[in-house]
C-alpha cells in the first residue's frame, strides 16, 4: 500500500475533513470570516491547510505543529495571495498584460515564486484568468483584460512561471487558476453579483483560459463566488465535475474561495452548512476555505446519505497527492530554508523597474512633448498620486513594505539631478477640500513643465471595489482643469499620469493634456519606471489590453463584437448607434504610442489556400520613420466572413514585436496554425468550416489601421 493510501486508511473522519479544510493563519485578512488561532486544530489533525501565513518563523512554527505534534504527521499546505509579486511587487496583472510578452509574464511569476517560497509559501492563489469587459468591476485589475485568446496565453505563461519545471523544487509554488468561471460579467459590474450570460459566451469567452491553464499543468483551480444562470459556481457540478474534471480530465485540487461554501446558504441553494458542504463536495470541491463547512457539515451529510466516505477519500487523496508533488512529505521545511541574497533582491527590483517601464501605455503625446526636453530646468510634479508610494503597489500588495515603493516624485527627482523639482498635492485622492488648489496651481508659473499625477487609490481597485462612476474620484477633475487652464495660459506643457486598475472615463483630460500616460499600478519601482519613460531613457511600448470607453454608457465595450444586421450608418437613424455619442471607443484595444513613428506595409499571407493540418505564414514589413529607437507591437486578427455562426468582427490570433532604430526597416513574421480557425458551431462543438477568412494585421484593433488579406480554408 502506498504512503498516501496508508495515511487515508489510518485517518479518522475528522482527520480526513481536516485535510479538506483551509483556514487563515492571521497574517492578512482577505475576507469577512473571523480569524482564530489554528494551533490546537493543527495538532488534532483537523486543519490541514493554511492561508495568509508568511515568513519562515511563523510558517515553520505552524509546520512543526503538523509534522511533529499531530498524530499522523501530515504536513501543512500553506498558501498566500502572490498576485503580482510577494515582497517585490511587479505591475498589477492588467498592467503587465500590456507588455504582450509571454516570456516576461512567466519571468515575473518565476521571480515572485522564488521570493514567496523563500518565505515558506507553497501555493499562490493566482493567476486570475477572468476575462473582463466591464471596468466597473474592480477585479479587472487582477486579470488579463478583455480577450479570451490573450487570457489563454497569459494563463500558460503564469502557470509555467509560478510552478517551474518541478513542483517539488524549493522555489516552486502550486498555482491556482481562478475564478472558475465567468466571474467577470457580474451584473452591473458589482462584485459577487449574479451572472446570466449565454452558454456560447461561457464557452467562447470564459472557459478557454482555464483550458489553457489545465493543459499547462496547473495544480489547482478555484471556483468563483458568483452564480452562473442560477447555479453558484461552488456547487456547479456541470462545469466543475463534468467539464473541468470530465472533459478536460483535470485531476488536481479544487479549492473554494474564501467562505464560498458557507455562502451557498445566502445564494438560497442550501438550507444549512450540511447541505452547503454536500453540494460543494458533490460538485468536486476538495478544499473548503474559511467556511468550516466540511468540518462541521460533512459528518451529518454522511449520516444523511448526501455524500459518501468514498467521495471524501477521493478529495483527501487529491490533497495529499498535491502535498506529495510539492515535496512536503520529504521535507516540509524546504520552502524557506534558503535566504535571499542582497544582490538577488536588487536584481529583482531592477527587473520590476524594467517591466514597469514597459507596462506604461502612452495614450497621447501631442506635439511630441515627451520625452522631456533637455532644456527643462524646473519641473512641477503635482497631484494626489505624486508623492504616494503606498498607492504604487496597487491592490493585493502581498507581503511588500509599502514604504519601500518608489513614488513618482522620488523617481523623477532621482532621474533628473540637474532639475529643480517642485511639488504640491493640490487635493486628496477622494476628498472634498479645494483649500490647497490655488497655491498648487500657482506653481505652474515657476516651472518649465508640469507632471500631473491623478487617478484612483489602490484600494479603489481589486476585490470589493466596484465603481459606478469611472471618472477621477473626489475633486481631482476640478483641480486638474484648474492646472490645465493655468498651464495653457502660460504655454507650459502638462503631462498627465493616470493611476488605476481599470480604464478611466477621462476624454476631457485626453483632450486638454499635452501627453497622457496610463501608469496603472506599477509596483515597487513605479516612480523609477515612470521616470525612465518620461525622461526618454526608454521608449514606451505598452499596449492597452482593454478597450477604453469615452463614456460609461458604452460599457460593456470590447473589440470582439459580432456584426449587426444594421451596422452603424450616420445617414440612417435606424442603424446600430447612439444618439448622443459615437460608437467608437476613446482608445481601441492594443492602442499605445512610442517615441518612434511606425508604418506597416507589404502584407504577405501564404498559402492562399490552407487545410486544417497546415499553417499560415503572415509577414509584414515595419519601418520606423521616427527620430528615436522604439519597439512596435504588431497584432494579428482574423474574421470569418461567412460561417454557420455569426462570427466576431475581429478575433485576436497572435502578436509580434520588433525593435527598430530610426529609419530602420524590418519584417515581422507570424505563424497561424489553421486549427486556430476552428470555432464552436451551432451545437457548441468545435468545427472547421471551408470558406474565406480575412487576415488583418496592424497596431491595434481599429479596422481603419489594419492591413488586410484573405485565405481560403479547404476541407
Catalytic positions are 257
- What cell numbers appear for 616 in the block? 499560415
Q: Phi then psi for 418, rounded to 5 degrees?
A: -95, 5
* Residue 344 buriedness (CB in 10 A; 0-12 / 13-18 / 19+): middle
Using DSSP's 3-state secondary structure scheme, residue 667 falls into strand
**49 strand-pairing partners:** 22, 77
Under 8 Å between Cβ of 522 and 530: yes
Closest to 162 in 3D by CA, of 151, 149, 171, 152: 171
C-alpha cell at 681: 458551431
Cis peptide before 179 (omega within 30 of 0): yes
Q: Could you tell me the three cell numbers for 112? A: 515572485
SS (H, E, C) 510-556: HHHCCEEEECCCCCCCHHHHHHHHHCCCCCCCCCCCCCECCCHHHCC
- β-bridge partners, 651: 638
Q: Are 277 and 297 in contact (CB under 8 A)?
A: yes
Using omega within 30 degrees of 0 as the cis cutoff, is the peptide bond preceding 371 cis? Answer: yes
Residue identified by cell 519584417 is 667
- Give me Rg for the CA atoms of the chain: 26
Q: Are 60 and 76 in contact (CB under 8 A)?
A: no
The answer to whether 286 and 318 have CB atoms below 8 angstroms apart is yes
Instruction: HSE, CB side, 13 Å, CA atoms: give it for residue 179.
Output: 25
DSSP state of 692: E
Which SS3 state, helix, strand or coil, does residue 705 take? helix
- With both helix axes pointing from N to C terminus, report the angle between 526-534 and 342-359 in degrees, rounded to the nearest 10: 50
Q: What is the DSSP string of 31-76?
A: SSSPP---HHHHHHTS--EEES--SHHHHHHHHHIIIIISSS-PPP
Beta-carbon contacts of residue 24 (< 8 Å; ≥ 6 apart)? 30, 33, 35, 38, 50, 51, 52, 53, 290
Q: What are phi and psi of 175, to 5 degrees?
A: -85, 150
Up-side HSE of residue 285: CA atoms within 13 Å toward CB? Answer: 34
Give the separation between CA 252 and CA 248, rounded to whole angstroms.
11
Beta strand 449-455 with 494-499 is: parallel
CA separation for the pair 328, 255 (Å, rounded): 18
Given a contact cutoff of 8 angstroms between Cβ atoms, the answer to whether 110 and 82 are in contact is no
Residue 252, judged by CB atoms within 10 A of its CB (0-12, 13-18, 19+), counts as buried
Task: Kindly state the helix (H) or strand (E) to which residue 497 belongs, with its residue range.
Answer: strand 494-499
Phi-psi region of 474 (alpha: psi -120 to 50; beta: other; left: phi over 0): left
Q: What letter does residue 372 receive in the DSSP assignment? A: P
The cell numbers describing 203, all together, are 464557452
Q: H/E element holding 439?
A: helix 437-442
Cis peptide before 181 (omega within 30 of 0): yes
Q: Are 593 and 365 in contact (CB under 8 A)?
A: yes
Nearest to 252 by CA among 167, 183, 333: 167
Amino acid at each position: 500500500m502506498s504512503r498516501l493510501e496508508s495515511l487515508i486508511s489510518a485517518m479518522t473522519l475528522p482527520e480526513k475533513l481536516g485535510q479538506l479544510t483551509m483556514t487563515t493563519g492571521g497574517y492578512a485578512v482577505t475576507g469577512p470570516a473571523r480569524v482564530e488561532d489554528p494551533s490546537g486544530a493543527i495538532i488534532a489533525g483537523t486543519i490541514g491547510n493554511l492561508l495568509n501565513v508568511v515568513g519562515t518563523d511563523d510558517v515553520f512554527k505552524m509546520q512543526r505543529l503538523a509534522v511533529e505534534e499531530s498524530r499522523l504527521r501530515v504536513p501543512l499546505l500553506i498558501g498566500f495571495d502572490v498576485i503580482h509579486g510577494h515582497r517585490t511587487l511587479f505591475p498589477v496583472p492588467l498592467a503587465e498584460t500590456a507588455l504582450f510578452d509571454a516570456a516576461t509574464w512567466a519571468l515575473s511569476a518565476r521571480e515572485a515564486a522564488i521570493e514567496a517560497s523563500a518565505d515558506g509559501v507553497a501555493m499562490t492563489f493566482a493567476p486570475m484568468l477572468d476575462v473582463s469587459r466591464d471596468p466597473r468591476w474592480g477585479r479587472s485589475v487582477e486579470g488579463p483584460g478583455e480577450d479570451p485568446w490573450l487570457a489563454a496565453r497569459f494563463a500558460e505563461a503564469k502557470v509555467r512561471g509560478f510552478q517551474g519545471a518541478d513542483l517539488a523544487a524549493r522555489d516552486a509554488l502550486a498555482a491556482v487558476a481562478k475564478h472558475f468561471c465567468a466571474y467577470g460579467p457580474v451584473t452591473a459590474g458589482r462584485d459577487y453579483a449574479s451572472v446570466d450570460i449565454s452558454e456560447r459566451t461561457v464557452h467562447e469567452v470564459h472557459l478557454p483560459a482555464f483550458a489553457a491553464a489545465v493543459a499547462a499543468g496547473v495544480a489547482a483551480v478555484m471556483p468563483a463566488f458568483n452564480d452562473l444562470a442560477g447555479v453558484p459556481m461552488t456547487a456547479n457540478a456541470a462545469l466543475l465535475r463534468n467539464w473541468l474534471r470530465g472533459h478536460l480530465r483535470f485531476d488536481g485540487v479544487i479549492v473554494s474561495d474564501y467562505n464560498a461554501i458557507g455562502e451557498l446558504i445566502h445564494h438560497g441553494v442550501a438550507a444549512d452548512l450540511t447541505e452547503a458542504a454536500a453540494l460543494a463536495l458533490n460538485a468536486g470541491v476538495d478544499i473548503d476555505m474559511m467556511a468550516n463547512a466540511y468540518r462541521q457539515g460533512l459528518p451529518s451529510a454522511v449520516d444523511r446519505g448526501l455524500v459518501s466516505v468514498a467521495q471524501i477519500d477521493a478529495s483527501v487523496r487529491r490533497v495529499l497527492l498535491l502535498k506529495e508533488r510539492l515535496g512536503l512529505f520529504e521535507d516540509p521545511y524546504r520552502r524557506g530554508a534558503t535566504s535571499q541574497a542582497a544582490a538577488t533582491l536588487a536584481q529583482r527590483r531592477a527587473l520590476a523597474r524594467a517591466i514597469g517601464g514597459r507596462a506604461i501605455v502612452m495614450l497621447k503625446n501631442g506635439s511630441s512633448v515627451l520625452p522631456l526636453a533637455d532644456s527643462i530646468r524646473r519641473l512641477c510634479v503635482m497631484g494626489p498620486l505624486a508623492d504616494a508610494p503606498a498607492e504604487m503597489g496597487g491592490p493585493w500588495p502581498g507581503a511588500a513594505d509599502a514604504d519601500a515603493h518608489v513614488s513618482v516624485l522620488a523617481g523623477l527627482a532621482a532621474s533628473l539631478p540637474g532639475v529643480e523639482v517642485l511639488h504640491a498635492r493640490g487635493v486628496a485622492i477622494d476628498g472634498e477640500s479645494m483649500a490647497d488648489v490655488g497655491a498648487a496651481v500657482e506653481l505652474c508659473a515657476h516651472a518649465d513643465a508640469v507632471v500631473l499625477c491623478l487617478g484612483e487609490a489602490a484600494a479603489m481597485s481589486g476585490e470589493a471595489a466596484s465603481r459606478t462612476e469611472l471618472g477621477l474620484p473626489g475633486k481631482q477633475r476640478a483641480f486638474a482643469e484648474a492646472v490645465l487652464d493655468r498651464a495653457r495660459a502660460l504655454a507650459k506643457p502638462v503631462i498627465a499620469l493616470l493611476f488605476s486598475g481599470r480604464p478611466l472615463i477621462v476624454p476631457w483630460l485626453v483632450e486638454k493634456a499635452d501627453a497622457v500616460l496610463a501608469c496603472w499600478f506599477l509596483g515597487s519601482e513605479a516612480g523609477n519606471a515612470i521616470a525612465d519613460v518620461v525622461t526618454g531613457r526608454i521608449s514606451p511600448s505598452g499596449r492597452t489590453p482593454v478597450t477604453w470607453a469615452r463614456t460609461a454608457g458604452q460599457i460593456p465595450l470590447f473589440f470582439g463584437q459580432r456584426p449587426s444586421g444594421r451596422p452603424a450608418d450616420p445617414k440612417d437613424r435606424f442603424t446600430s448607434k447612439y444618439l448622443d455619442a459615437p460608437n467608437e471607443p476613446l482608445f481601441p484595444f492594443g492602442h499605445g504610442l512610442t517615441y518612434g513613428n511606425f508604418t506597416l506595409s507589404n502584407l504577405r499571407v501564404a498559402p492562399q489556400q490552407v487545410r486544417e493540418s497546415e499553417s499560415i505564414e503572415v509577414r509584414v514589413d515595419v519601418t520606423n520613420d521616427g527620430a528615436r529607437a522604439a519597439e512596435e507591437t504588431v497584432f494579428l486578427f482574423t474574421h470569418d466572413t461567412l460561417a454557420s455562426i455569426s462570427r466576431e468582427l475581429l478575433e485576436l490570433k497572435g502578436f509580434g514585436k520588433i525593435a527598430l532604430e530610426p529609419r530602420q526597416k524590418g519584417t515581422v513574421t507570424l505563424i497561424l496554425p489553421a486549427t486556430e480557425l476552428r470555432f464552436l458551431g451551432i451545437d457548441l462543438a468545435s468545427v472547421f468550416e471551408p470558406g474565406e477568412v480575412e487576415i488583418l494585421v496592424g497596431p491595434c484593433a481599429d479596422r481603419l489601421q489594419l492591413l488586410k488579406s484573405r485565405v481560403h480554408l479547404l476541407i
